[in-house]
């Protein structure tokens, strides 16, 4: 199972919106609505910010939103804030009943 494809880095200014794509195949992202997104600050455990493509866990800001088209899922962060600077990972359920992560995207707030 190959890792999902994410850009290594994305940047934006405070208040702007950014979008992180996550590309897989019909055996993972394209085949199931079980894509999730995680935020990870340095030295910390990952935190779930989106599950099942578009849903928010309790307590997560709605500035984070998710979508999917075909084999590509996306995470959009609106109204970018300094605290959003972190690494972001997508993950998907697969046809082998396993999970696979993307390579991660470093978000920089300029």
Partner 1 sequence: QVQLVQSAAEVKKPGSSVRVSCKASGDTFSNYAISWVRQAPGQGLEWMGGIIPIFGAGNYAQKSQGRVTITADISTSTAYMELSSLRSEDTAVYYCARGRLEGFWGAFDYWGQGTLVTVSS
Footprint on this chain of partner 1 (rule: CB under 8 A) = 1, 3, 34, 36, 38, 40, 45-48, 51-52, 57, 87, 89, 91, 93, 96-104
Which CB sits closer to partner 1, 47 or 63?
Answer: 47
Q: How many CB atoms lie within 10 A of CB 71?
A: 18
Q: 20, 39 in Cβ contact below 8 A? A: no
Which CB sits closer to partner 1, 24 or 102?
Answer: 102
Least distance (Å) between residue 103 CB and partner 1:
5
Q: 21: which 2 tokens?
A: 């794509």
Least distance (Å) between residue 20 CB and partner 1:
13
Q: CA geometry: angle at 63 spanning 28 and 15, to 5°?
A: 125
Q: 75: which 2 tokens?
A: 């995470």
Which CB sits closer to partner 1, 26 or 96?
Answer: 96
């Amino acid at each position: 199972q190959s890792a999902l494809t994410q850009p290594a880095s994305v940047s934006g200014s405070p208040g702007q919106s950014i979008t992180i794509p996550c590309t897989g195949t019909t055996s993972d992202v394209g085949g199931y609505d079980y894509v999730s997104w995680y935020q990870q600050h340095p030295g910390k455990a990952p935190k779930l910010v989106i599950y099942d493509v578009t849903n928010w866990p309790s307590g997560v800001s709605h500035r984070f939103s998710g979508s999917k088209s075909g084999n590509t899922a996306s995470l959009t962060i609106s109204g970018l804030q300094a605290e959003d600077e972190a690494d972001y990972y997508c993950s998907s359920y697969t046809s082998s009943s396993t999970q696979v992560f993307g390579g991660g995207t470093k978000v920089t707030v300029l």
